[in-house]
Structure formats: structure tokens, C-alpha cells
Amino acid sequence: MNLNSGQKLEIRNAKPAEFVSIGKLMASVYSQLEGFPKASEQPDYYKMLLNVGTLTEKENTELIVAISNKGKMVGAVVYFSDMKNYGSGGTVTKIKNASGFRLLAVDFQERGKEIGKRLCKACIDRAKGKNQKELYIHSTESIKVAWGMYERLGFTRCEAIDFIQGELPVFGFKLSI
């Protein structure tokens, strides 16, 4: 797919040698979000981001990366084909016949180039390939700009899976497949 900058984008599963760089990208992106807790406020969350590659040790979990044609890592997301490994708060981990994704991050310098959308579509395609009935995600007010993208992709708010992380409200979304 051509991006606004004329670059092509490769979406694929991350290689173990890329896990550390992906973790640093995710921690950097989340730490720059206005209103999102900082590392000093939620050190365990940032430790999880920095070690995001370890999530792939759980079955049915993939770390998906977006690479520009110049070889630059520009985004990543974690896809779960079994919600039991989703790892968030709330009740979503008990949902059967469903997939989910978390920790979508796009390099701030690369925003507006449909990278997040491409990563979301990769997760949707994986869920369809597994014959899942639904795809679940969570977001916060800090990333409300992405909510419009989720809605354009067909996601609807799913209040039943909302939860509080520390003092941070986290909002659920669902896509029926």
C-alpha cells in the first residue's frame, strides 16, 4: 500500500531480534500521549511495554510490526487469537470464539499515513482467518483520535468490557465479524 509519503509498508510478524526495538517504540509512543500515565505513575505497565516481545511466549499471540520500505519500524500491535491471553483488566478474557488486539502504537513522526489502520486490518484479517465471531480492543481518552478510525473500520463501543487501570478509564470496542 502506498502511504502519503510515497512509501510502501510491510506488515508482518515481528522477528525476535526486533522485540527490544518494538518495546522502546511502544514505551516512547505511550509516554508522549497527553493525559496518559507516565512511566513513573505506572512502572509495571511500561515494563510490560518494554518487554512486549515476551507476550508472544503465550500461545495464540502475535506481535505484528509495520516496516517502511526504508526499513524503519513505524508501528506495531499485539494480536491475540484467544482472548484468555489478552491480559487486560475487566471481563474480556472470558469471551470465547473471539480475538483481540492491544498496544497499537504508531511512531509520532509517521502518523497520518494509515499505518494504524493497516495494523488494525491485519488483526481483522487474522480474526477472519481463525473464523472468529468478534474482535475486541481497548482504548483510552488519550488516544481518542483513534476512535474514529476504529468506528470507520466497523468497531462499536462495548461498555460491558470497560475497566479502570489504576485511575485511568479504559474503554472497550467490538467488531462483529
Domain range for residue 59?
A: 9-176
In a domain, 18, yes or no: yes
Q: What is the pLDDT of residue 7?
A: 57
Q: How many domains does the chain have?
A: 1
Quote the pTM value.
Answer: 0.92
Please state, in angstroms and as integers, the Cα–Cα distance from residue 112 to each residue in 109, 159, 164, following that order.
9, 28, 29
C-alpha grid cell, residue 104: 497499537
- 3: in domain: no
Grid coordinates given for 142:
488519550
Cell of 57: 511466549
Does residue 93 lie within any of the structural domains?
yes
Q: Point out the residues of the chain with pLDDT beneath 70.
A: 1-7
- Integer CA distances (angstroms), 108 to 26, 74, 113, 116, in order: 11, 9, 11, 11
Q: What is the pLDDT of residue 2?
A: 40
Angle at 29 between CA 148 and CA 174, to 5 degrees: 35
Examine residue 2 and state whether it is found in any structural domain, yes or no: no
For residue 124, the domain's CATH number is 3.40.630.30
The overall longest dimension of the chain from CA atoms, in Å, is 42
Nearest Cα neighbor of 173 from 164, 146, 165 is 146
Task: Specify the pLDDT at position 3.
Answer: 45
Task: Report yes or no on 83 lying in a domain.
Answer: yes
Classify residue 4: in a domain, yes or no. Answer: no
In the numeric block, the cell 515481528 is attached to 14
Asked whether residue 30 is domain-assigned, the answer is: yes
How many residues make up the chain in this entry? 177
pLDDT at site 90: 74
Confirm whether 42 is domain-assigned. yes
pLDDT tens digit sequence for 7-23: 589 999 999 999 999 99
